[in-house]
Chains A and B, each alone.
Chain A
Amino acid sequence: GQNIDQPTEMTATEGAIVQINCTYQTSGFNGLFWYQQHAGEAPTFLSYNVLDGLEEKGRFSSFLSRSKGYSYLLLKELQMKDSASYLCAVLIMNTGFQKLVFGTGTRLLVSP
């Protein structure tokens, strides 16, 4: 089976830095995605990591350690519009196909 854990909720202040952690236990791991989801909207892609290390994309960075089953999403210079849910999703390889399994999501509240 798969187990993907994230904190339920986090709060931070505008302009600050926040780190959202994700731990996973899966077989057939083939990469990890982070998605952002504003209330009432569809998830949108933020990042994809398949190798160990840090991927930076503007204010957002994502890190992966495959040996530890651990990833984090780092958000810098927080803005009010960053208030959203952040979903960690693991790509799992099965015979002949891959499937995308989500964690429970972390709701981030950014205050002025």
Chain B
Amino acid sequence: EAGVAQSPRYKIIEKRQSVAFWCNPISGHATLYWYQQILGQGPKLLIQFQNNGVVDDSQLPKDRFSAERLKGVDSTLKIQPAKLEDSAVYLCASSPTLMGTEAFFGQGTRLTVV
């Protein structure tokens, strides 16, 4: 079974530029999460999709971050404009709908804003 795919693996941009990350979850997984993990900290949930609908985006900085999940499969997360404090690893994870099943993570995208 293929895992969660993310691209790119690394990205370096200047502040005020824009950037987009892509995630392809495990086939059939209805739930998709985007997490932000700053160095030395635990993952922080940014946004959660159930199929193609947003169920939680309470911690997403909506003035600069946006995300979509077209057709309930792939997802993109965009930052525009980026700030220095956005430097982090952005992790995508997916899980089946079945309650209590674990989330599977992609390798993440390491973003450096300079």
Contact = CB atoms under 8 A, between A and B. Distances in A.
B108 interface: yes
Highest count of chain A CB atoms <10 Å: which of B35, B43, B99: B43
A102 B56 contact: no
- Majority SS of interface residues in chain A? strand
A42 B31 contact: no
The 10 nearest A-B residue pairs measured at CB? A42-B105, A102-B42, A45-B102, A105-B42, A104-B42, A97-B55, A102-B43, A43-B105, A97-B50, A42-B107
Contacts, number: 60
A53 B35 CA distance: 30
A87 B55 CA distance: 23
A6 B33 CA distance: 22
Interface of B: 31, 33, 35, 40-45, 48, 50, 55-56, 91, 93, 95, 99-100, 102-108
17 contacts: A4-B42, A6-B42, A42-B107, A42-B108, A43-B105, A44-B105, A50-B100, A87-B42, A93-B99, A94-B55, A96-B50, A97-B31, A97-B48, A99-B33, A99-B56, A100-B33, A105-B42
Contact of A96 (B41, B55, B106): B55
